[in-house]
Amino acid sequence: DGGITQSPKYLFRKEGQNVTLSCEQNLNHDAMYWYRQDPGQGLRLIYYSQIVNDFQKGDIAEGYSVSREKKESFPLTVTSAQKNPTAFYLCASSSSIGHLGYGYTFGSGTRLTVV
């Protein structure tokens, strides 16, 4: 079945440590997105990528980095510069920008906790 896989489901990070969240899709979607979800704040866009080897900052990119070396993969690194990383992280994908009537397909999320 086609879909998006996020791993791990739960992740614990020590202070000052970088961690990488995985996002893989087999939907042949061109666009991929990372969102952060905090209680009561809805979804905030961190980074997005419309095509391989290209990505853009979203609304809250500081302290995060991404890469898009393959169409299927869009990993997110939470760096030590991110001062409050505890949150639920959602990855999504979508067909290309030319098909704006398509919605997003979401992964099941990664819950990151700083310990």
> Among residue numbers 24 through 53, which ones bind another protein (CB under 8 A)?
33, 40-43, 45, 48, 50
Q: Does 95 bind another protein (CB under 8 A)?
A: no
Measured from the CB atom, the residue of 57 and 81 that comes closer to another protein is 57
CB of 80 to another protein, least distance (A): 26
Q: Does 64 bind another protein (CB under 8 A)?
A: no
User: Do 38 and 46 meet the contact criterion of CB atoms below 8 Å apart?
Assistant: no
Strands annotated E in the chain: 4-7, 10-13, 19-25, 31-37, 43-51, 54-57, 64-66, 76-78, 87-94, 105-106, 110-114
* 71, 14 contact by CB (below 8 A): no
Give how many residues touch another protein by CB under 8 A. 25
Under the criterion CB under 8 A, does residue 90 sit at the interface with another protein? yes
